[in-house]
Amino acid sequence: MLILAKKCSELNFSQLMAVYEEGNLENARMFWQELSEAELLLRAEESFYSYLKGDFFRTRGAYYAIWEENGRYCSALRIEPYQDGVLLEALETRPDCRHRGYATMLMQAVIEQETRKIYSHVGKKNAASLRTHEKCGFRMLLDHAVYIDGSVSSNAVTLCKE
């Protein structure tokens, strides 16, 4: 079932963090190599919450989309205004929910809801995400990513669904 959240209080934050645990650990290790895994997760979750509350949900038109199954968050992504449409970002599926089509179901549900052009930046080496995007009708627009803050990455591509 699709859940759309337009403010932090509409999210089950602990369930959301279960979806992002693997990515949070990976990202936190880049900043705090000296910390234990538990400390890394705590720092990452605190930073994530601060970002959502202080930045993301203050952006007009931004929302979280979550696929929930049997009372559990399985897959999640963020949507925020971008150029002449919206940017789909932070697509993630819990490791114990992968290969069951949750990311595809989530993206298709968002596509059905969204009336604007949808952009997405995907790492060039992220074959699973690239396949999921293609399955949902996204096509390559640029061989690099231009992020909301204007920074550019040659390690990702820009996809678009019109």
- Segment 22-33 mean pLDDT: 90
Range of the domain at 74: 2-161
Q: DSSP per residue over 91-130, as a string?
A: EEE-GGGTTSSHHHHHHHHHHHH--SEEEEEEETT-HHHH
- At residue 142, the pLDDT reads 97
Q: How far is Cα of residue 5 from the mean position of the Cα atoms in its chain?
A: 13
Please tell me the predicted confidence (pLDDT) of residue 67. Answer: 99
Distance CA 32, CA 46 (A): 14
State residue 75's pLDDT score.
Answer: 98
Q: What is the CATH number of the domain that holds 119?
A: 3.40.630.30
| Mean pLDDT computed over every residue of the chain | 96
pLDDT score for 139: 98
How many Cβ atoms are within 10 Å of 33's Cβ, its own excluded?
Answer: 8
Structure confidence at residue 129 (pLDDT): 96
Query: Environment class of residue 95 by beta-carbon count within 10 Å: exposed (0-12), middle (13-18) or buried (19+)?
Result: exposed
The mean pLDDT value for 18-47 works out to: 92
Q: How far is 145 from 120, CA to CA, in rounded Å?
A: 9
Write out pLDDT tens, residues 130-140: 999 999 999 99
Q: Which amino acid is at 123?
A: G
Q: How confident is the model at residue 80 (pLDDT cuts 50, 70, 90)?
A: very high
How far is it, in rounded angstroms, from Cα 144 to Cα 146?
7
| pLDDT at res. 86 | 98
The first and second tokens of residue 83, run together, are 């150029």
66 close to 14: Cβ distance less than 8 angstroms:
no
Question: Count of domains in the chain?
Answer: 1
What pLDDT does 51 receive? 96
Q: Which amino acid is at 73?
A: Y
Each residue of 128-149: b (16+ CB within 10 Å) or e?
Answer: ebbebbeebebeebeeebbeee
Contacts of 42 (CB under 8 A, 6+ apart): none
| pTM confidence score | 0.93
Instruction: For residue range 108-154, list pLDDT tens digits in order.
Output: 999 999 999 999 999 999 999 999 999 999 999 999 999 999 999 99
Share of the chain above pLDDT 90, in %: 95
- pLDDT given for residue 146 in this prediction: 96
